[in-house]
Amino acid sequence: MHFEAGCKTTAMGIMPHKDVEKALKLALGLDIPFWPQLPNVSFYEDMYAQTSQGFPGIVVDLKGERVDFHSGRFEQELESYSEKMNDPRYFLLSPDYSTVYHSFLERDLSGYAAIRGQVTGPVSFGFRVVDENRRPIIYDEGVRTILFDFIQRKVNAQYHQFREKSENAFVWIDEPGLGWVFSGLSGYDDVRAKEDYRHFLDGLEGPRALHLCANVNLPYLLELGIELLSFDAYQMEVMPKGYAASVAEFLKRGGTIIWGIVPTDSENLGKETPETLAKLLAGYWQVVSQHTGVAPGQIAEQALIAPARCCLKNIGQVGAADEVRGQTVEACQISSIEERLVETAFAYLGLISNILREEYGQS
């Protein structure tokens, strides 16, 4: 894959919209479009339910909105799964599990610099999905081994399907769970996660891309062996000096960083403008430059611009759009508020991109 990043825009997959066409239109309006995940349309669109399709032992409880794992069922289905696992088609999303995926691929995507898909990562899935004893399945070594291989195959299958639509296709692994491995309460720590993840990434057949919208340890993530990293940059507020060297080394290796700089919660988005957010991001880049010698223009050349995270179950006063500013969550339909927040954030992306391109000479 080769494309010029140059502060182009993209976004994470999860969106609050119920109108499929509206969500798709928004996604296609970015420089690097993606297929939206719409959990407010169906629980099958939940990031964990969606990825669970085809994994042995899984039951999706639509009414209870849960993804359950049953050990006995896992053992029963394992033989059947092993007979199907070498067929890439087995790992593709069916229309039941995504109302948008196939529609996205039916569009003419030839005019875009790149296109992007997403799959929930094995660490996040393994922490979130629990067995009948409420124990996360990531703690079961046998299940964990199969889970990593299963999701690796899902990523590869989606990548090859996207590759038919664009030479510059990539699928990022959505991994909030990599923010959990540093918890002292976790029985699956950062050392084991790094070992498992490097093996997992080695088996990917496309660009190795990672997305994390939780508190981040940038050096840890940038040293996993990935080529693209998307993360919530807004929540940092300042770029730690100790991160500068890792960022610089990653960029020197040709990596691309997707800076999630636009907040999608009402409180923060309401107090920011495209200008303040562009200034905040430029400040991060200045810290990296001052401590490593990498020019801000070079950082911009290898940067994509994105929202900080998805916007679901927004809490607090609405402040992201004039027409809903000052109203409480109770006074407005939550999904409608969330949609407006996302739409405002997406609009900010293009404006921030233009500011940064002009500042750093990106075409």
CA 193 – CA 195 distance, rounded (Å): 5
**123 is written with which tokens?**
């660490």
In the CATH hierarchy, which fold is given to the domain comprising 8-360? TIM Barrel (3.20.20)
Instruction: Give residue-wise pLDDT tens across range 8-41.
Output: 999 999 999 999 999 999 999 999 999 999 999 9
SS3 275: helix
Average pLDDT, rounded, for the chain: 91
| Phi, psi for 218 (deg, rounded to 5) | -55, -50
pTM flag (> 0.95): no
Where along the chain do its domains lie?
8-360
Mean pLDDT on 259-286 = 96
Judge contact between 92 and 161, C-beta under 8 A: yes
Question: In sequence order, what are the residues at sequence separation of 6 or more whose Cβ sits closer than 8 angstroms to the Cβ of residue 83?
Answer: none
**Furthest C-alpha separation in the chain:** 59
Q: Which long-range contacts (CB under 8 A, 24 or more apart) does 351-354 make?
A: 351/274, 352/7, 352/261, 352/262, 352/274, 352/277, 352/278, 352/281, 352/305, 353/7, 353/8, 353/9, 353/31, 353/305
Please determine, for residue 331, whether its predicted confidence score (pLDDT) is greater than 80: no
Q: What is the CB neighbour count within 10 angstroms for residue 114? A: 24
Burial 213-252 (b: 16+ CB within 10 A, else e): beebbbbbbbebbbbbbbbbbbebeebeeebbebbbebbe
**34 is written with which tokens?**
């993606």
Query: For residue 303, what are the β-bridge partners?
Result: 257
Instruction: Give residue-wise pLDDT tens across range 287-315.
Output: 999 999 999 999 999 999 999 988 665 43
**Helix axes of 190-202 and 141-163: crossing angle, nearest 10 degrees:** 40
